[in-house]
Chain A
Amino acid sequence: DQQVKQNSPSLSVQEGRISILNCDYTNSMFDYFLWYKKYPAEGPTFLISISSIKDKNEDGRFTVFLNKSAKHLSLHIVPSQPGDSAVYFCAASKGGGADGLTFGKGTHLIIQP
């Protein structure tokens, strides 16, 4: 049973436009959410996170929105740049993180020139 779902395996966006990556979760015990970015042949790198007590967190071009009632979060990248082309993983953790992080399967973002 997949607890963190990224239903879009890939997403193509034109350079300069907004990229929106979506993530749904099923476990209501999750209270901390993170986004990781991964380039080929490298390990994932942390991008941005949000606690369940917030509904928005912003860091430069990256904003994460959390809708707890819908169990949905999204990552917005504005404006999209060629270097943003990568696989993006959504991850979630629950109270104290006793089980570490549960990851989604990832979304491959392709920024078209």
Chain B
Amino acid sequence: EAQVTQNPRYLITVTGKKLTVTCSQNMNHEYMSWYRQDPGLGLRQIYYSMNVEVTDKGDVPEGYKVSRKEKRNFPLILESPSPNQTSLYFCASSLNRVGEQYFGPGTRLTVT
């Protein structure tokens, strides 16, 4: 089954404790991206990757890092999480940059 998986689905952590949210897709897609969804703000792109070892900043990259060492995986790293990063995070992938994006189920992160 074609899918995008994210782990964990729910995470509560404390300020400053490094965390990683994993994202994996099994569709051999080149393009992957991370979004955050906040009430009243819709979906905002954090980072995207056009292929292995190629990443670039989206609209709200501050406080986040990503890596793309393999085509299928695109982890989101928060080196020092802060409360304003409490949000719902979605990973997505697509065959190309303009193509229909397939979204993961989301990770709800709370930083206290």
Contacts and interface: CB of A to CB of B under 8 A. Distances in A.
B42 A49 contact: no
Interface residues of A, number: 25
A110 B104 CA distance: 24
Contact of B104 (A34, A43, A100, A106): A43
A43 B105 contact: yes
A100 B106 contact: no
A89 B90 CA distance: 14
A96 B31 CA distance: 12
Contact of B41 (A45, A97, A99, A105): A105
Contact of B98 (A41, A93, A104): A93
B44 interface: yes
B43 A89 contact: yes
B100 interface: yes
A41 B106 contact: yes
B97 to A, nearest CB: 3
Interface string B31-63: 101010000111111001000000000110000
13 contacts: A42-B106, A43-B92, A43-B104, A44-B90, A44-B103, A49-B100, A91-B43, A93-B97, A96-B97, A97-B99, A100-B45, A103-B43, A106-B43
Interface of B: 4, 31, 33, 35, 40-45, 48, 58-59, 90, 92, 96-106
* Top 4 A-B pairs, shortest CB-CB distance: A97-B97, A43-B103, A97-B98, A105-B42
